[in-house]
Amino acid sequence: MLAAMHGSEYLVSGFLGATFPVAGDAGHRVQLSELDRELIRLLQLDGRQSFVAISRELRVPEKTIRRRVNELLESRIIQITTVADPAVLGYTVGAMVGVRVDGRRGIRSLVESLANLPSVDYAVITTGRYDALVEVLCRDTTELLNVIDESFIRAPGVRSAEVFPYLQLHYQDPVWDTAHHHGENVRGVETRAPLDAMDRRIVAELNADGRLPFGLVGERLGISESQVRKRVTRMLQEKTIRITAIVNPRSLGYTMQVWMAIKCAPGHSIADLADTLTKLPSVKYVVTCAGRFDIFVEAVCRNAQDVMRLVDSEIRTLTGVADTEVLLCLDLYYRAVQPPVREG
């Protein structure tokens, strides 16, 4: 259950209500300038950092900073959003669902429909054992059962859905550009208290636009700007949420994304192996789960050679690894974690 997860401060990043933008969609790879990369770096550290502060830091005119950030946002190369622990938003159960299709429906159409479910924050079309991996967040096991039964098993085009309930989320780094140099802001050990209803409403407002003025947030929610600012400041200081720029990994040169399903060898600690995996530079996500696999790992790599190195030299050689399966990601869909629609 997510409430028992120790080891991740920032969980579940993504693009709200839309496909994650792929840089090659129009047949061209986005070329980011050095200024673009510096802007992204600073906005990943603080998505609400003022244009004045960025201008001062980079010694570039504020007008130029404002124009280029707006261009990056409008072209969907980046999105500034909240990254929040699902448990504090009211979700106590998470699971990865491995989906196999039966060919009666196009896989893109099927996965898009699953990605649009309120309980789904992540979906990816893959090669390998599963045609898609879908992450589900629920308030309890009853809700998880209902989602699997009504929205997966009965969905037209689904041949099978294998559920891997999460036991512990060891690592999540929403900042793609740090894929090869992990920062210090990626782990936590304490269990955080759930947010109250107003905090959750504020997070919901900032999901679509992390730079939304606090005055406008307050106006929408019927509270003062100072109250919004105070609550957001507290949540940031407590590391309950993070407001950051999420960037298309392909724009940064990471052309391959992979998932690895790992079985731990008998006599070895699953938790210890998971913690070891978090230290690998390419790894972005590590979760232990129940089911045929013990651990799921997500990684971003620059090319196929990097994938081979990661799998063959860095993961399969680890003590405790009994078996691995590699699933290459072909298309992916993200959505920022929204508080449950119904309270309680």
The tens digit of pLDDT for each residue in 246-285 reads 887 777 778 899 999 999 999 999 999 999 999 999 998 9
Measured CA to CA in angstroms, residue 62 lies from 57, 67, 109, 119, 298 at distances of: 11, 9, 43, 40, 37
- Determine contact, residues 246/174, Cβ cutoff 8 Å: yes
Q: What is the pLDDT of residues 120-162, one digit of tens each?
A: 989 999 999 999 999 999 999 999 999 999 999 999 999 999 9
Report the mean per-residue pLDDT for the chain. Answer: 85
In angstroms, rounded to a whole number, what is the distance separating the alpha carbons of residues 176 and 300? Answer: 8
Provide the residue ranges of all domains of the chain, joining segments of one domain with +.
Answer: 2-11+88-183+249-334
- Average pLDDT, stretch 7-34? 44
Provide the pLDDT for residue 189.
38
Domain range 2-11+88-183+249-334, CATH class: alpha beta
- The full DSSP string for 101-168 is E-SSS-HHHHHHHHHTSTTEEEEEEESSS-SEEEEEEESSHHHHHHHIIIIIITSTTEEEEEEEEEEE
Q: By percentage, how much of the chain surpasses pLDDT 70?
A: 83
Q: Which pLDDT value is given to residue 240?
A: 87
The two tokens of residue 200 are 């959750």
The H-assigned helical ranges of the chain are 34-45, 51-58, 62-74, 86-89, 107-115, 141-147, 197-208, 214-221, 225-237, 270-277, 304-308
Q: Show Cβ contacts of residue 50 under 8 Å, excluding neighbours closer than 6 positions.
A: none
Residue 178 pLDDT: 46
2 pLDDT band, cuts 50/70/90, is very low
Q: Is the pLDDT of residue 181 over 50?
A: no
> Which residue, among 56, 57, 53, 58, has the nearest Cα to 35 in the 3D structure?
58
pLDDT on residue 32: 85
Q: Which of 182, 138, 183 is nearest to 163 (CA)?
A: 138
The predicted model scores a pTM of 0.79
pLDDT at 341: 57
pLDDT of 235 higher than 80: yes
pLDDT band at 59 (very low <50, low <70, confident <90, very high): very high
The per-residue pLDDT for 176 is: 54
Q: How far apart are CA 82 and CA 97, in angstroms?
A: 24
